[in-house]
Amino acid sequence: MSLGLIGELARLIVGTSLVKSAVDGLGEHLSNKNNSIAEIPDGKGKMKIKIHHVFNLEDRMVHIVNMANKSKLDPVIRQFTAEAVNKRCGTKWCISERNYWSEIRAVFKSIDENVRYTGDIWSVDTYQSGKRTLELGIADCDDVSILIASCLMSIGYPVRFRVIKTKNSSDWNHIFVLAGIPPRDAKQWVSLDATVDKPAGWHPPKSMISATKDFAV
């Protein structure tokens, strides 16, 4: 996940009317003019895909938010997150209890090490569940944002999605996560973008952004 920053931010959420999400964590959604469910062979039987047609950013974000909220309840997500934060260093926890910033960094690091930035299907804006992203090991900015959000929510953190429009772009072209700390009464919102070679907490500079929208989860 170390694409150059300028190239990365220039080609993330392409402004299409196509949306994909997972059905029961098994497949992805592809967009079409009609909402429907189809089945395709996946080598093990058939994989269900749900097809949606959307018209604007708000429509797209409804699917992303719903998918993150569904994924946070998935035992696979909870287990992956537990393995990232619940490690022993001798007789003590490697991350002390209620060390919120260290927990967030550990989850971010684990995702960064297990998921490679990879583009969507050609000309199709595709979104996948957190579980599906872990299974595939590939994701673009919307997929990895769903995964980060669902992992952190699975251990009690409030999150938001931030969508930005970079300068010289006619569409909203990047999404990442904001995590609130402390969890029960967030005073600080930490930016988390695993699609660029930057540490947890890095935020795109204002000089690159022409517009910003935040979406509660």
Best CA proximity match to 147, nearest among 202, 77, 99, 52: 77
Q: What is the pLDDT of residue 211?
A: 95
Query: Which pair of structure tokens corresponds to residue 26?
Result: 């098994």
- Tell me the pLDDT of the chain averaged across its residues: 82
Where residue 146 sits, what CATH number does that domain have? 3.10.620.30
Domain containing residue 66: 5-216
Q: What is the pLDDT of residue 120?
A: 86
Model-wide pTM > 0.75: yes
Tally of structural domains, the chain: 1
Q: Are 51 and 36 in contact (CB under 8 A)?
A: yes
- Tens digits of residue pLDDT in 112-143: 999 999 988 887 778 899 999 999 999 999 99
